[in-house]
């Protein structure tokens, strides 16, 4: 009997799949032409289980197996295999070795074809795949931009205004494509709708709280409609400080030792604070990106 892993992303117990089972599953997906849909679903689930368990060398094995073009075809066909295939691609998109091959194997363009569907669960998994592919990967950011991913994400945001989970995925994908992924590839940002000054504008505010106590980073995404088919998407990352930060900053002239010296355990946040102290009040924005799009 297979040993069971305690948890998974979906909350179910996952079997520990031997390496030869992964090889057999990949070969069956790539080379078998007479398998039933149930058999293919079983093999896809085997590969998904291995990737979720982060077994050593599994991502590299998938990358060289030749399965990625087959997965791209399954994404485009739309059928019983599409949802599980999209989940699998979403998990694979975390891996650097997979990101490097998704363009040449057609996976990136196939994900674009999924974004036009009306199935919200499918859209969430496709959105996660796009967010993970583009996170900290300039090649994928540029390719997805050329494929027209921003207009598709804006369409989804406008069409499914009441789906909070889908909204958050699309906003995360926009930030990662714009290389402003402050929350990481899987988010870590709490989003809310902000107040807009005109009916043609939608504002989303995302807060990524830091554990160091001084403040947080606020990501502001604005969708501005100039005409029925023309939009501007602007993304800006701003600092938001607590009262304690300003107290420290105002008192630093009378304290010889740097009040930020204890932040050595938080190097990224230390750099942010150091930069902001040196530039107050001349600079208020750390990062920004604007997309002009036609739907």
Task: Please give the chain's pLDDT, 295 residues, in tens.
Answer: 333 343 444 454 444 455 589 999 999 999 987 788 999 999 999 999 999 999 999 999 999 999 999 999 999 998 999 999 999 999 999 999 999 899 999 999 999 999 999 999 999 999 999 999 999 999 999 999 999 999 999 999 999 999 999 999 999 999 999 998 766 777 678 899 988 888 889 999 998 755 454 557 789 999 999 988 898 999 998 876 544 443 444 444 433 333 333 333 444 433 333 333 333 333 445 688 898 888 7
Class of domain 1-181: mainly alpha
Residue pair 267/219 in contact (Cβ under 8 Å)? The answer is no
Query: Which 8-state DSSP code applies to residue 264?
Result: G
What is the structure's pLDDT at 100?
87
Domain ranges of the chain: 1-181, 189-295
What is the structure's pLDDT at 74?
94
Extract the runs of DSSP E, i.e. beta strands, from the chain: 4-5, 14-15, 190-194, 201-209, 215-227, 230-241, 287-294
């Amino acid at each position: 009997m297979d040993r069971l892993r305690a948890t998974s992303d979906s909350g179910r117990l996952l079997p520990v799949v031997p390496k030869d089972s992964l090889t057999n599953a990949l070969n069956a997906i790539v080379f078998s032409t007479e398998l039933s849909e149930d058999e293919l679903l079983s093999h896809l689930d085997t590969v998904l289980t291995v990737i979720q368990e982060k077994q050593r060398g599994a991502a590299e094995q998938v990358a060289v197996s030749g399965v990625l073009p087959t997965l791209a075809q399954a994404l485009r066909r739309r059928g019983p295999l599409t949802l599980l295939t999209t989940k699998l691609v979403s998990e694979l998109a975390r891996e650097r070795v997979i990101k490097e091959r998704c363009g040449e194997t057609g996976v990136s363009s196939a994900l674009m074809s999924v974004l036009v569907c009306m199935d919200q669960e499918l859209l969430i998994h496709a959105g996660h795949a796009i967010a993970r592919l583009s996170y900290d990967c300039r090649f994928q950011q540029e390719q997805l931009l050329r494929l027209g991913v921003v207009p598709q994400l804006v369409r989804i945001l406008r069409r499914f205004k009441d789906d909070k989970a889908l909204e958050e995925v699309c906003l995360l994908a926009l930030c990662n494509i714009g290389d402003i992924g402050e929350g990481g590839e899987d988010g870590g940002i709490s989003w809310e709708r902000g107040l807009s000054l005109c009916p043609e504008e939608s504002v989303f505010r995302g807060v990524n709280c830091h554990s160091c106590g001084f403040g947080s980073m606020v990501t502001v995404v604005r969708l501005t409609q100039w005409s029925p088919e023309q939009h501007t998407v602007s993304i800006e990352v701003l600092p938001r400080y607590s009262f304690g930060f300003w107290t420290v900053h105002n008192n630093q002239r009378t304290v010889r030792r740097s009040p930020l010296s204890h932040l050595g355990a938080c190097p990224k946040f230390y750099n942010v604070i150091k930069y902001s102290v040196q530039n107050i009040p001349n600079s208020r924005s750390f990062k920004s990106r604007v997309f002009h799009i036609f739907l």
